[in-house]
Amino acid sequence: MPTDPDPRPVVAAVDESGSSRDAALWAADLAADWSAPLHLLHVPEGDPQDPPRPAPDWLAELADGARRSGADPVTTEVQPGEVVPTVAGRAVGARMVVLGSYGRGAAAGMLAGSVALGVAGRVACPIAVVRGSASQLPPPRSGPVVVGVDDSPAGSAAVAFAADLAESLGTELLAVHAWTDVVVDPEGVPVRRRESPTELAAEAEEVLDRRLQPVLAAQRRSSVVRRLVEGTPLQVLLDAGRSARVLVVGTRGRTGFTGILTGSTSTALIGFAPCPVIVVHPRATNGERTGETVSGEVSA
């Protein structure tokens, strides 16, 4: 359902791969739904001081496809340099940055994850990595917006963003929260909690209720489904992603879902989930107009 025009662009970093084309068209659909501009950015190897280059034929064709999907306006840019700092620079003032899972195979997924985490550590807007359930398959066009709920400011931002996204897409919001008796201490060492399973489940229930209260109070048109699951956050999200249209998670959490966004685990989620993954910074929600970069890394 179209919304009021939003001057903040959706920035899609693209290359010649099929997955990049899928990401660009996914971004075009979202930009059209948000009534937001779409900016297609290609970053070939080269000196960042070099001037922008003319758009190659494949990029012009990609822009035409985005316009046919309803995005308007659509702009293109070819800027030599390093991918992460260049994309992060264009993300200032953007509503979202969209990346594809470039190329094929495991190396491609790892690349997408490292780029996404690198960009996410520098910008305040949400970052989306677009992929399907298998190599060369397009991203799903149906299913709920699944959000990993966490007891942290980042978890709150992820829930707010996911609720707005589900509303704009006209689909269900599925809020999931994982609980386990093993947590990671500040030194990164797994430790077993002393509480009983009953106590841990009750604590997790309270977190889920508290995070969903603002969403339920807003009386949105889209339905909200809650799910409490015993298990590791990564596995719970990957399982939920099999029927999802998109997965939404936060950054800089301490427990539950947002705390997993470090190292190989985050790369596995972003690079190999069966659907698009959106990473939301604590400062970024659908309604905020962020125009800044942030320092630091995506971490617990």
The pLDDT value recorded for residue 165 is 95
| DSSP β-ladder status, 277-280 and 173-179 | unpaired
The pLDDT value recorded for residue 57 is 95
Domains and CATH numbers, the chain: 10-130 (3.40.50.620), 147-280 (3.40.50.620)
* Strand, coil or helix: 205: helix
Instruction: Pick out the chain residues at pLDDT < 70.
Output: 1-5, 102-114, 134-136, 252-268, 283-300
Q: What is the pLDDT of residues 171-230, one digit of tens each?
A: 999 999 988 887 777 777 878 888 888 888 888 888 898 888 888 888 777 899 999 998
Structure tokens at 158: 């992820």
- What strands lie across the sheet with 277-280, from one edge to the other? 74-78, 38-42, 10-13, 96-100, 127-130, 277-280, 246-250, 145-148, 173-179, 224-230
Cα separation, 183 vs 279, in Å, equals 22
Looking at residue 258, what DSSP letter applies? G
| DSSP β-ladder status, 190-192 and 182-184 | antiparallel
C-alpha pair distances (Å), 211 with each of 29, 150, 205: 29, 8, 10
Q: How much is the CA Rg of the chain, to the nearest whole Å? A: 19
- Contacts with 18 (C-beta within 8 Å, 6 or more apart), sequence order: 136
The pLDDT value recorded for residue 259 is 46
Phi, psi of 251, deg, nearest 5 = -120, 160
